[in-house]
Amino acid sequence: MGVFYVTTPIYYPNAEPHIGHAYTTIMADVTARWRRLCGDDVFFLTGTDEHGLKLQKTAEERGIDPKSFVDQMSEVFKRYWSILGISYDRFIRTTDEDHVQAVRKALMKMYSKGLIYKGVYRGWYCTSCEAFYGPGEYIEEGGRKLCPSHRKPLELMEEETYFFKLSQFEDYVREQLSKDIVHPRGYAREVLSKIEREGLRDLSITRPKTRVYWGIEAPWDPNHTVYVWIDALLNYVSALGYPDNTSRLEKYWSVAHHFIGKDILWFHTAVWFAVLAAIDLPPPRKVIVHAFITLQGLKISKSVGNVVTIDALLQRYGNPDVVRYLLMRFSSLDKDVEFSAEQLDAAYNTELADTFGNLVRRVGVLAKKKLDGVVTRDRVDPELETSVRRAVDRAASALNSFRFSEALIAIFDVFREANAYLNRTEPWRSDSPNESLYNALECIRIGTSLLSPFMPRVAENLARSLGFEIGPFEALRMGAGEEYRVSEAPILFKKIRGGSAS
């Protein structure tokens, strides 16, 4: 049995989550559920990133104190994750007392090692990104400097700050980037070439409290608060009990898998690897980076104002598992995916309703009508067995390398094979259709088990209706199922046209 640690970014709770946040969170959840299906001991972490200027400003605009605001908003995130069936083990909030103490201790350690010094910072800041941009990074337009990500004017800031000696870690960071940590590899090359061009500059890691009061106080200077990104990154270790309760940290840290969007790659590599080294911890096992969901070519985001809400998809398909399926079906690590309602509807109709739904419905109806719902182990069709084995191998290897849409295509090949097999064997014409229905049910059991990380509730309900168990992975081969007791033949998905599915 293996051990596995999977994380999502902790999201800014300045607004409710949209499908971009759901996208990363579902990828991480599918991975957590897949590893559990394989028998691993999994710890799955998500949460909210509650400090910093962006939250401070949003709360001020609403005339509410920041803590009450983030209390409310973190509940909104939890509610969406519960609707979407996100199986996290801990929901961390950076205002949690254990996290605050961990950040103070980590920073004190860096300070005592002489890795932090006082200076003055002058630079152009984007509050939406909570990041500074230097020449060559920002966009110049009509004499103004704009954020490359949000295209909003940057603010010039000049103030006293404490710097972290990031530059000292340049060789170390380069060395880590040449290993197999960052996935896909192309993203590691991007970071390496940025370091090549600009070097690793020391990083401003505190803000004057007079400007940003909503943050963790720097342990060596009460006039400063800790930069929100340093506070946030440390959640991945504070959630495991760093630095005082080390048992979880020892168990899970070496198998840490961070899922992130490509917008926060720099922080999760250059900055994070160096901070970890500064507090004597090794880098994560993997940083899995995905591209954006876009609308008319622009990253979906609140700041851009082109959000597609989670509610819109929930309403259209009437089933959270369908939303999970569709977001993963068109997911991609290396290329942006353009949101397309037509494409989602088409996949819903042809794959979920036709291929999967019709298979389940016709097998269920026949089993009930012809065999009183009881189907017993029978001869396994050798041709079907071979194609199912191949599809299971493909799905497993895709899941192990985070190629979620490929995994779904392989899983649906099992259902497509089963439909073709039924058309060949025509159990509706037969008086003794046990063999044919047994083979088809085996395909449904195997395909549904592999689908369970993507559609956990659909899978559970179907297993109950047809009378089988989900998994374990070793049982995902033809002939492993002993008997089926079909109690109903559910209609899983109703087709949609112009309207909605529910």
Q: Which residues bind ligand MSP (CB under 6 A)?
A: 9-12, 20-21, 23-24, 49, 232-233, 235, 260-261, 263-264, 292-293, 299-301
Which residue's CB is nearer to ligand MSP, number 9 or number 447? 9
CB nearer ligand MSP, residue 182 or residue 443: 182
Catalytic residue check, 118: no
Q: Which is nearer to ligand MSP, 231 or 351 (CB)?
A: 231
For the range 296-305, what are the long-range contacts, defined as Cβ-Cβ under 8 Å and sequence gap of 24 or more? 296/338, 297/338, 299/20, 299/149, 299/263, 299/336, 300/18, 300/19, 300/20, 300/339, 301/18, 301/20, 301/150, 302/14, 302/15, 302/18, 303/128, 303/150, 303/152, 304/150, 304/151
147 is a catalytic site residue: yes
CB of 92 to ligand MSP, least distance (A): 10
Estimate the crossing angle of helix 434-451 against helix 456-466, to 10 degrees. Answer: 160
Rounded least distance, CB 80 to ligand MSP, Å: 13
CB of 128 to ligand MSP, least distance (A): 8
* Smallest gap from residue 283 Cβ to ligand MSP (A): 14
Q: SS3 for 21?
A: helix
Per the annotation, the verdict on 290 as an active-site residue is: no
Q: Which is nearer to ligand MSP, 66 or 261 (CB)?
A: 261
Separation between Cα atoms, residue 121 and residue 486, nearest integer Å:
69
Closest residue by beta carbon to ligand MSP: 20
DSSP state of 284: P
Q: How far is the CB of 63 from ligand MSP (least distance, A)?
A: 23
Of residues 20 and 456, the one with the C-beta less far from ligand MSP: 20
Nearest residue (CB) to ligand MSP, 146 versus 233: 233
For the question of residue 18 being annotated catalytic, the response is yes
Computed from CA positions of residues 405, 407, 412, 417, in that sequence, does the dihedral angle turn out positive or negative? positive
- Tokens matching residue 62: 């609403």
Asked about 302 being catalytic, the answer comes back as yes
- 501-to-318, 353, 492, 496 alpha-carbon distances in Å: 6, 10, 11, 5
105 is catalytic: no
* Cα(95)–Cα(101) distance, integer angstroms: 10
Least distance between ligand MSP and beta carbon 232 (Å):
4
The residues, any chain, with a CB within 8 Å of residue 133's CB and separated by 6 or more, are 123, 124, 125, 126, 145, 147, 148, 154
CA 159 distance to own-chain centroid: 36
Structure tokens at 458: 């659909």
Task: Give 92-156 as a DSSP string.
Answer: EETTSHHHHHHHHHHHHHHHHTT-EEEEEEEEEEETTTTEEE-TTTSEEETTEEE-TTT--B-EE
Residue of 54, 99, 129, 224 marked catalytic: 129
What is the CB-side half-sphere exposure of residue 68 using CA atoms within 13 A?
A: 6
Closest CA to 402 of 46, 26, 48: 26
**Nearer to ligand MSP (CB atom), residue 225 or residue 449:** 225
Alpha helices in 372-499 (DSSP H): 382-400, 404-425, 434-451, 456-466
In the complex, the smallest distance separating the C-beta of residue 106 from ligand MSP, rounded to whole angstroms, is: 14
Comparison of 214 and 356: residue with beta carbon closer to ligand MSP = 214
Please tell me which residue in 194, 251, 302, 370 is annotated as part of the active site.
302
Identify whether 109 is a catalytic site residue.
Answer: no
Cα(438)–Cα(456) distance, rounded to whole angstroms? 23
* Residue 51 falls in the annotated catalytic set: no
Report, in Å, the least distance between residue 424 CB and ligand MSP: 42
What is the closest distance, in whole angstroms, from the C-beta atom of residue 124 to ligand MSP in the complex? 19
Q: What are phi and psi of 122, to 5 degrees?
A: -130, 125
Question: Alpha carbon of 20 to those of 48, 237, 310, 340, 493: distances in Å?
Answer: 15, 24, 9, 14, 25
- The nearer residue to ligand MSP, 335 or 429, going by C-beta atoms, is 335
Quote the CA–CA distance of 326 and 344 in Å, as a whole number. Answer: 6
Q: Name the residues annotated as catalytic.
A: 18, 21, 126, 129, 147, 150, 299, 302
